[in-house]
Amino acid sequence: MDEQLTFETFFRERVKEKGMAPKKLADLTGISLSHLENMMRGNFDDMPSAPYFHGYIVRLAKVLDFDAEEWWEQIKKEGIVKNSGAADSFPRNRFIRQSQAKPIAIFIGVLLVVAYLIFQVPRILGKPTLAITFPSQNPYTALSNTITLEGTVKGADALYLNGDPVAVNVTNGTWQKSVLLQGGLNSFKIIAKKFLGGQAEATEQIIYQAPAGTAPAAATSTGTVSSTVPTPTGQTQNQ
């Protein structure tokens, strides 16, 4: 840019070079026709203060294809613009309405995530709910050497009876497990576990009154048992 060339002269020549009528230039830039005509005549007394004048130069530069900031520095050197103070910049929301939708959407999204986590933390980290529905008594006296334990569980990722996994109905949370009893007191420990949370435990004690003449039963590792009964020939048979 020639430092001897004033903005007034440059602006008139640039408009002429682009073959741009003032009315069309006003339509394209949104700058009033009177302001454009004042700039062409070098009458800057009626121009707005620096921030708004700067905005005019930026919009004119886009249409007339010149360096807005380079010419803005030249305009300030010429002293033809009113200075509004230290904040000598064009207000961002003067001609463009800032949308508030995006910040609001982000805020709502954060609230939803926080609410979801608040409701999910107990389910993820809390203790499951475990109940034994049969036998309903504890201890319970059984007259047969087999019995089916039944119950319900909620919020558990795994269920164990004396260390053995137990299948759970995913629809209603019910479970059942058949066990073999030995004579006397049998103790069964049921544990419901969460993957990241705690666990719930319940213990059921069952007393099996073996019929007279039945050989003592041998306990297995899980608390269920195998027993022997006499045969007609005097030999024993595993059951």
Q: Which residues pair with 230 in a beta bridge?
A: 236
Say how many C-beta atoms besides its own lie within 10 A of residue 137's C-beta.
10
Question: Mean pLDDT score of the chain, rounded to an integer?
Answer: 79
* Stretch 133-145: mean pLDDT: 91
Q: In CATH, which of 2.40.37.10, 2.60.40.10, 3.40.50.2300, 3.60.15.10 is domain 129-206?
A: 2.60.40.10
Q: Identify the CA nearest to 125 among candidates 217, 197, 194, 47.
A: 197
Residue with tokens 């020639």: 2
The whole-number pLDDT of residue 30 equals: 92
CATH topology of domain 7-78: 434 Repressor (Amino-terminal Domain) (1.10.260)
- Would the pTM count as exceeding 0.85? no
Could you tell me how far CA 189 lies from the centroid of its own chain?
Answer: 38
Token pair, residue 184, equals 């006397």
Most confident of 78-87, 123-132, 221-230: 123-132
CB 64 within 8 A of CB 18: yes
Under a CB-based contact definition with an 8 Å cutoff, are residues 206 and 188 in contact? yes
> What pLDDT is stored for residue 87 in this prediction?
43
Please state, in angstroms and rounded to a whole number, the distance separating the CA atoms of residues 31 and 27.
Answer: 7
Note the pLDDT of residue 170.
85
Q: Give me the residue spans of the domains in the chain.
A: 7-78, 129-206
Helix (H, G, I), strand (E, B) or coil at 70: helix
- Condensed to tens digits (0 to 9), the pLDDT of residues 35-78 reads 888 888 888 887 888 888 899 999 999 999 999 999 999 888 88
Q: What is the pLDDT of residues 149-206, one digit of tens each?
A: 999 988 888 999 999 999 999 899 999 999 999 989 999 999 988 877 688 889 999 9
